Structure 1
Amino acid sequence: MRIVFMGTPDFAVPSLEGLISAGHEVCGVFSQPDKPVGRHQNKLQPTPVKSCAAAHGIPVYQPTKLRDGTVLAQLRELAPELVVVAAYGRILPDDILALPPMGCINVHSSLLPKYRGAAPINWAVIRGEKETGVTIMYMAEELDAGDIIAQETTHIDPEETVENVHDRLADLGGRLLVQTVAELAAGTARRIPQDHSQATLAPMLSREFSPIDWSRSGWDIHNQIRGLVPWPATSTDIFSAEPVKVFKSTLLDQGTDKQPGTVVAAGKEGIDVACGDGRLLRILELQAPGGKRMSAASYLAGHPIHL
């Protein structure tokens, strides 16, 4: 099938690779503009999808606007049968959605209608979900509200971070996409309307979600920590004049009658802090301001906590 692919980050690469490996003619790739990197922001870093496309000799387009007619004209020239979107980071206007004969489909990293929006993997972990998955859907004017074609589920372990879940869903999305495109070509693909009354949102992340409120339950704090890795990361100032970032934790079996936010123990195994429900949360990895991410033991070697 002749396909235009639209995607930007690492999550989208397995989907692009899957289409190429399956023998589809990916005639063009659209990705976000390169971002400046480095201390002086004087170097441009290509997106992961752009790098993948370039390695396969596929033309790459990086428009800054989608509604001025330029992209529509480029798509008409490319003449795709199908447009596939995976974490592109832009909303497609109606004239683009209506262009390909077989429509525009999206690889979304949640079990829609749950977690529509920019950060579905993060919010599934933050809210303590036991499972999540990937949805392939037809794109519609409303964000992530199109008819479902296919879904596949995966378990979320209570100790794994969003980084682990992200990588697993990226691979799962690539495999499910290839299967779905084959079904579209054969005319056997399903089309199931979403139950909009069950929709939940996964808003864009920001640093406002970082501070830890130790009056919350241990599970809520643990889920917040593993759901915000590596950015924006959670933070706390209970044992430092400036907030430190917390990257990894675990809940202990024993409880405590100490006030929430009290450091109960600090040693080579970690930093144990009282939570609002009487549970102890052990901080395992953290980062001091201006420092590097490190184990709690390494942090304590340079920043001892006196109880």
Structure 2
Amino acid sequence: MLRIVFFGSSGDGSMVPLEAVSRAHRVIALVKPSRSQSWLRRTARSILWRTGMGTSAAMARWARIHDVPLLEATAGSDSELANELERLRPDVICVSAFPWLLGRDVLQTAGRAALNVHSSLLPRHRGANPLLWVYYHNDRRTGVTVHGMNERADAGAIFAQEAFDLPRGFPVDRLYAKKALLGGELLLRVLDQLASGEARSRPQEETLATYAPRVAHGTRLVPFSEWDAERVWHFLRGLCPRRLEPLCDRSERQVRYRSVLGYTTHDCDKAAGLIESTSFGWNLYCRDGSVQLGKSRRPDR
């Protein structure tokens, strides 16, 4: 049984792998991101969480239930946190859905390995927002990777990876949930292999690396004159309502669509990207057809 310090947040992308890991290994501390503040204040907040007097976030509840300290990191490189981890002496640092790269001072506190769960088939889509770019780049297959960590983003050796087909227009919320489950399974598998001395890794192929940066709210991404209607539909429907492409009608009024109903292919003599109002919502014209956008949210989302 390995001693684990787990870095994450309160979403399923962290909590599902955390639950998987804790079934077979000893989680000795959790680490969550925090705004910068004194170590004394951070310690006091940790005590409040563990006694049930602080936030009700999922990581805090988990820490209280399992009597595990909940630590806070103010950045990926945090000398006070590194000192606390040195005292705890973890065998493995596990990371899933944590917003910052960890610095060497933190990574070197792990006696055996530092592992990250990443929601893509590395080296494809390194970075903070892989799910967006899986849809943007029209990937027909996607998956999850567990890799060793260094000071570069998602560039460490691969310990485990599993791929699956991505259905067209598949909702991103369901993809996120599926990857959380798979990430937990792969992370537990790698930890078991580390414990038994059977873990193996392989370096990433740098020439195949692509990047998945964060995108500012309101950024237009779809090149309507280049993508066909089916690809536009896949991108918009997959991400709706989590991310909505900024769209405007002829009068430059913002189009607030809430669902992506379907698409049709046909000869199109209207400009790609043009939007016209209809009884159901809007028609969004593409180079070879149109995508139908709805005013109300679909019940299957």
Q: TM tier, shorter chain? A: 0.7 to 0.9
Verify: 1:4 aligned to 2:15, yes or no: no
CA, structure 1 residues 209+194, in 2 after alignment: closer, same or farther (shift >3 Å)? same
Give SS of 1:249's match: strand
Q: 3-state DSSP class of the match of 1:124?
A: helix
1:251 CA displacement: 4.2
Secondary structure in 2 matching 1:182? helix
Paired residue secondary structure (1:71): helix
Counterpart residue type for residue 88 of structure 2: L
Q: Which amino acid aligns with 1:238?
A: D
Give the 5 Å matches for 1:99-114. 99-114=109-124
Partner of 2:279: 267
1:47–1:110 CA distance, 2 compared to 1 (3 A): farther
State the partner residue of 1:31.
32
DSSP-derived class of the 2:94 partner: strand
1:257 maps to 268
146, 149, 164: which is aligned to 1:139? Answer: 149
| Equivalent residues in 2 for 1:286-301, closer than 5 Å | 286=295, 294-295=296-297
| DSSP 3-state at the match of 1:282 | strand
Task: Describe the SS at the equivalent of 2:33.
Answer: coil
| Corresponding residue pairs, total | 276
Q: Does 1:77 align with 2:87?
A: yes
Matched residues in 2 for 1:239 and 1:51: separation? 50
> 2:14 touches 2:96 (CA, 8 Å); kept in 1?
yes
Gaps of 5+ in 2: 36-53
The one-letter code sitting in structure 2 at the alignment partner of 1:126 is Y
> Greater shift after overlay, 64-73 or 128-137?
64-73
Question: 2 CA distance for matches of 1:201 and 1:211?
Answer: 15
> Aligned-residue CA RMSD in angstroms?
2.4
Structure 1 counterpart of 2:213, from 203, 208, 233: 203
Change (3 A) 1:99 1:175: same
Residue identity opposite 2:16 in structure 1:
P
* More strand, by proportion: 1
Query: Following the alignment from structure 1 to structure 2, what is the Cα–Cα distance between the partners of residues 136 and 254?
Result: 40
Question: 1:66, 1:273 → 2: CA distance?
Answer: 43
The equivalent residue for 2:289 is 279
1:68 shift after superposition: 4.5
Whole-angstrom CA distance in 2 between matches of 1:205 and 1:95: 29
Provide closer, same or farther for how the CA distance between residues 72 and 197 of structure 1 changes in structure 2, counting only shifts above 3 A. Answer: same
- Structure 2 residue 230 is the aligned partner of structure 1 residue 219: yes
Q: Kindly, what percent of the aligned residue pairs are identical?
A: 28
- Post-superposition Cα deviations, 1:146-191, rounded to whole Å, max 9, x if no partner, equal 0000001122111212222111101110111111110111111111
Query: In structure 1, how many angstroms separate the alpha carbons of the residues matched to 2:109 and 2:144?
Result: 25
CA distance in 1, matches of 2:88, 2:135: 39
In the other structure, the counterpart of 2:21 is 19
Deviations 1:16-72 (A, max 9, x none): 0111123x11000001128xxxxxxxxx96654334333433211112145352011
Task: Summarize the alignment of residues 189-200 of structure 1 with structure 2, pairs less than 5 Å apart.
Answer: 189-200=199-210
Q: TM-score, normalised by structure 1?
A: 0.81
Aligned with residue 67 of structure 1, among 36, 59, 77? 77
Deviation string for 1:225-281 (max 9, x for gaps)?
Answer: 24544444212111665313445325434414231344567234x533221x22111
The alpha carbon displacement at 1:106 in A equals 0.5
Conservation of the 8 A alpha-carbon contact between 1:122 and 1:228: yes
- Pair 1:66–1:264, CA change in 2 (3 A): closer
Q: In the alignment, residue 274 of structure 1 is paired with which amino acid?
A: Y
- The 2-side partners of 1:256 and 1:49 are apart by 53
Match of 1:96 in 2: 106
User: 1:113 & 1:27 partners in 2: Cα distance?
Assistant: 31
Whether contact under 8 Å (1:110, 1:135) holds in the other structure is yes
8 Å Cα contact 1:32/1:47 also seen in 2: no
Name stretches of at least 5 consecutive residues in structure 1 with no aligned partner. 35-43, 287-293, 297-307
Mean Cα deviation higher: 159-168 or 49-58: 49-58
Provide, for residues 105-133 of structure 1, a one-character-per-residue CA deviation record: whole Å limited to 9, x for no partner.
11111000000000011110122111111
